[in-house]
Amino acid sequence: MKTLETKRLILRPFKIEDLDDFYEYAKVEGVGEKAGWKHHTSKTESNIILQEFISKDDVYAIEYKENGKVIGSVGLHVINNNPLERELGYVLSKDYHNQGIMSEATKEVIRYCFEELELDKLWCMHFEENLISKRIILKNGFKFNHIFMKDIEALDYKRFKVYAYYMDKDIYASRLD
């Protein structure tokens, strides 16, 4: 996993030393739930998930340059068993909402996906009620594709309406003009 950088952020692999920062935002009710997982109830739980992030190597820590703190994550997961398609997922500490941080991170990840990984397609999805994610998705140029219902195991099989968006090489190239 290559480290990426923007004006305010460093997107890098997670390290075990990130545990305190990770737990700090992951324990807040409502943060994980918007991304499809329950908020963490112990540092031990966060440590187990952090170890998974480190071993899978497909989730970036979002480090805020100003204070060196890990304030969220961006995942790039293979989708449809196709290594040239990924799903972009993200979560950000509530303390850093409405500052353009996630849009900044997303813009750099999109660039990396199409210019360096040479992906064919990038997907991004949000639950119907997550209007903040919808705004980030649209701001970054994703196109609406479809809606589906999904039972989320991590949230006790609660059923959600999910909105799916995509970006392909052509859409990405048109945004560069």
Over residues 149-163, the pLDDT tens digits come to 988 776 667 787 899
Tokens of 84: 């040239």
71: pLDDT strictly greater than 80: yes
Over residues 13-70, the pLDDT tens digits come to 999 999 999 898 888 776 666 766 677 778 998 888 889 888 887 899 999 999 999 9
* Cα dist from 126 to 43, 45, 137, 153, 165, whole Å: 27, 24, 9, 16, 9
Q: How much is the average pLDDT of 163-170?
A: 96
The answer to whether 85 and 121 have CB atoms below 8 angstroms apart is yes
Residue type, 38: K
Mind giving me the DSSP string for 2-25? --EE-SSEEEEE--GGGHHHHHHH
Is pTM beyond 0.75? Reply is: yes
Q: What's the pLDDT at 27? A: 87
Considering only CA atoms, which of 45, 46, 47, 35 is closest in space to residue 92? 35
Tokens of 162: 């999910």
Confidence of residue 135 (pLDDT cuts 50, 70, 90): very high
Q: In this structure, what CATH number is given to the domain that contains residue 146?
A: 3.40.630.30
Q: What's the pLDDT at 61? A: 95
Domain count, the chain: 1
| Rg of the chain taking only CA atoms, in angstroms | 16
Pairing status of strand 82-92 against strand 121-127: parallel
Helix (H, G, I), strand (E, B) or coil at 96: helix
Q: What's the pLDDT at 32? A: 62
Query: What is the span of the domain harbouring residue 113?
Result: 4-176
